[in-house]
Structure 1
Amino acid sequence: MCFRPRCSFCYIFFTLYTLIFMFMLSLILFWIIISPSSVKFHVTDASLTQFNLTTNNNTLYYNFKVNVTVRNPNNNIVVYYRKITAIAWYKDNAFGWVSLTPFDQGHKNTTFLQAMFVGQSVIKLKAKQLGEYKEETNAGIHKDLAVDFDLNIRAKYARFKSSRFNPPIVQCRRLRVPLISNGKSASPFAVTRCSSAYFFSDRDAEAS
């Protein structure tokens, strides 16, 4: 048998455990009931004013601009973007990184972002990819560029505000980006929708 002090401790521990469990369960049910829609990203415009690869040292010199719209379609969810890193890719080679200014996004709001990648980076293309690069350069449009967005956010519904978490990487892939030469580009950019898993899930929690 438990002595009375020990029984009191057992009762307090059980009560606290029950309260914590009920609180966590209520949060989960609350979030399920809300069922917020994913935030939507679209690349509305993209262009290159420089995209030169020197084959003797595999150095890419680039000036790459991307305009993006971020749409929060929810009626009652506010999203706080606390960290935004844009990553530029070419044929599965990451070549540029830029941090964007954090911002808060209210209900039914569309925010416009611009990422500018300027600099040089060493990338290694396979023989086939190098041939594709030369063909694309001659045509004035590069077909296999991509931009990812690595985010850290908080979400708020009414008075409830989540802790900071990392949603799935937003991937804007297979961008066909015109190369501007002498102020002229080969063809206009087509608006491209970006993809990701469910936006309000924590990718770190899913990985564990």
Structure 2
Amino acid sequence: MSGRCCCISIIICILIMILPVIFVTIFSPSNVEFHVTEFSLTQFNLTNNNNLYFNFKVNITARNRNKNTIVYYRRITAIAWYKDNDFAYVSLTPFEQGKKNTSFLQTAVFQGSSVFNLKPRQLAEYYIETRAGVYNDFSVDLDMTVRYKYGRLKSSRFNPPTVQCRCLSVPLISNGKPVASFNGTKCRNDYFFDVIP
């Protein structure tokens, strides 16, 4: 009798471990895709005393491919990087994204100054890029808190993996015209719904 109870207990334990995996496999939403569509850079000056003066705007789209999932973006922080150095943060307006929908995030406007220390090689690259009028190794990350609704099931708030829009080549706009065109870039993000609260 005790052997039978032991077997039932083992089966129940296995089911408890397997059921969430089955649920996630069957019902887990598709990943949300992000793209940088526009990057408008009008100032990017580094002074001799390591003060960086910057002014640029970034447009990013989010594509929700799911026909049964609504995504609620409760907090969005855009973080600007240049050559692996972060230098500015901007909070974007929270919003709700419907099913099968592509949405523009609020334009991220970065303007101001920051103390900015580049390594000798990075500084040499900065001066070369300044002369060319095109800056390489720009990045914009998105750090978020979201919720989602799948059918009638609503998740609690969670932080998905950081969305990384890396290796952006950005032309400087001078006299109203960019030196070169900016190519839209798909952002890298690990599976958006990895965290199933």
- State whether TM-score is above 0.5: yes
Letter in 2 for 1:101: T
Cα distance in 2 for residues equivalent to 1:128 and 1:140: 18
Structure 2 unpaired stretches of 5+: 1-11
The RMSD of aligned alpha carbons is 1.8
User: 1:92 and 2:84 equivalent?
Assistant: yes
Matched, 1:140 2:133: yes
Residue 44 of structure 2 is aligned to residue 51 of structure 1: yes
Partner residue of 2:170 out of 162, 170, 177: 177
**Displacement, 1:53?**
0.2
Question: Pick from 122, 145, 159: which aligns with 1:152?
Answer: 145
Post-superposition offset of 1:28: 4.7
Report the CA distance between 1:196 and its aligned residue: 1.4
Of residues 75, 80, 94, the one that matches 1:83 is 75
Alignment of 1:1-150 (within 5 A): 28-55=21-48, 57-113=49-105, 114-150=107-143
Gapped regions of structure 1 (runs ≥ 5): 1-17
Task: Tell me the residue number matched to 1:164.
Answer: 157
Q: Is the 8 A contact 2:59 2:108 kept in 1?
A: yes
Counterpart-to-counterpart distance in 1, 2:24 and 2:152: 13
Find the counterpart in structure 1 of residue 4 from structure 2. none
Return the match for 1:188 from 166, 181, 184: 181
For residues 36 and 51 of structure 1, what CA distance do their matches in structure 2 show?
40
Secondary structure of 1:133's aligned partner: helix
Q: Are the aligned partners of 2:144 and 2:159 in contact in 1 as well (CA < 8 Å)? A: yes
TM normalised by structure 2 equals 0.88
Contact 2:28/2:193 (<8 A) preserved: no
The amino acid of 1:151's aligned partner reads M
Q: Distance in 2 between matches of 1:99 and 1:189?
A: 24
- What is the distance in 2 between the residues matched to 1:31 and 1:193? 26
Tell me how far 1:47 sits from its aligned partner.
1.8
2:178 partner SS: coil
Contact conserved, 2:46 with 2:52, CA < 8 A, in 1? yes
Q: Could you list the per-position Cα deviations for residues 127-154 of structure 1 after superposition, in whole angstroms to 9, with x for gaps in the alignment? A: 1111111111111110111000001000
Residue 5 of structure 1 corresponds to which residue in structure 2?
Answer: none
Work out the CA distance in 1 between the residues paired with 2:41 and 2:91. 19
TM-score for both structures, normalised by structure 1: 0.83
